[in-house]
Amino acid sequence: MSLAALRSGVLVAALGSVALAQTTIRTTTTLVVVPTLVQTAGKELVFSLKADDFTVTDNGVPQKATLEEETNRPLSLVVLMQTGGIARGQFASYANLETMLAGLLGKAPNEVSIVNFDSRVEAASPFTSDIAQWRDAINHPDQGDSGAAILDSIAFGLDLLKKEPQGNRRAILLISQEHDNGSKKQLKEIVSALGETNTAIYSLTFSAERTAARQAFKDPPHLNPPMDFGAGPFQGYFNLSAPLGLVIGAMRKNLSAEAANLSGGESSSFDNRNELEADLGTLINHLRNSYILSFRPTSTEPGLHTIKVRLASRPELIVSARSSYWATDAATTETQH
């Protein structure tokens, strides 16, 4: 079954009916989840740390952090696959994704939704633990239009994850070019939503320019119009506060990677199938073996908060963790019934 077929018919209607039937109850919460990866200088994972080994600060103020003894919460994962723009030049690299994603999920209750996007979200599968049913759609996607609406697809993925059980771990795997082309969402909205939903983004990016240059040698001239490698909707943010301005400034350089770093996930780049498989294998290993710290902030000041995680007694180790979160005037989560 093609993912594009899900845009119409009984399945879409059924999903819509479920959404309409849900009642949203807003309850206050201040729990901040901080996925944290610890490695040696040689990139070997470190497994033996305890909660007391970590020092966590929120805007420079030490916090009392707790540590999950095991990463045993179910995982809800949204895979965002770019099929528009020059992504067709990377379709051959996608060929083994189904097998690797199945390895990441393991067995139920972990589940995944596959989302294809070009200048808009084109199709989305329902969450499932049996990814094999979407093998053909994942490994042989339909070519999209000329766009690559990364921000819009991230926003769509976050909306999907909000409907998942509150106790689940939430993550997005983004496979795309580096820069946005065609989104209507603004960066500030994404920064805010990432901070509010405790979602980690793991991005695997390819160079649109390099892929386009390589594809030009394969395609006839009429399939190679001038490419638009637009850097996305950055207008209107020149008067932002300094911390948020710095975040958005970094996103100008590589939106996909910076969204991952901001959320506490990871990013890497690929140029062919072997590199994608190797990078995805590394990300899967890190996702499974990250420490999951959490804390309840002592400050409820609204806006962007900076998080820093350190190992005071083990300075030789490399700590990678979520760098910020967004606090609203009345922080809320959504419980679906």
Domain boundaries, the chain: 3-12+74-289
3-state SS, one letter per residue, for 95-133: HHHHHHHHHHHCCCCCEEEEEEECCCEEEECCCECCHHH
Q: Note the pLDDT tens digit of each residue in 291-306.
A: 999 999 998 888 888 9
Separation between Cα atoms, residue 305 and residue 60, nearest integer Å: 9
Separation between Cα atoms, residue 279 and residue 203, nearest integer Å: 10
**CATH architecture of the domain covering 3-12+74-289:** 3-Layer(aba) Sandwich (3.40)
Burial class (CB in 10 A: 0-12, 13-18, 19+), 8: exposed
**What is the pTM (predicted TM-score) of this model?**
0.76
Question: Tokens for 252?
Answer: 């100008």
Q: Which amino acid is at 24?
A: T
Residue 102, C-beta contacts closer than 8 angstroms, at least 6 positions apart? 131, 132
pLDDT tens for the 337 residues of the chain, in order: 555 554 443 333 333 333 334 333 333 447 888 989 999 999 999 998 999 999 999 999 999 999 986 567 889 999 999 999 989 899 999 988 888 888 888 777 899 999 999 999 998 999 999 888 888 888 889 999 999 999 999 999 999 999 998 888 899 999 999 888 889 988 778 877 877 778 889 999 998 766 665 655 455 554 545 444 444 443 333 333 444 454 444 455 577 887 887 787 888 999 999 999 999 899 888 888 889 999 999 988 888 889 999 998 999 999 999 888 888 765 444 433 3
Count CB atoms within 10 A of the CB of residue 246: 12
Contact 161, 199 (CB under 8 A): yes
Q: Note the pLDDT tens digit of each residue in 160-196.
A: 999 998 888 899 999 999 888 889 988 778 877 877 7
Question: Tokens for 327?
Answer: 């606090």
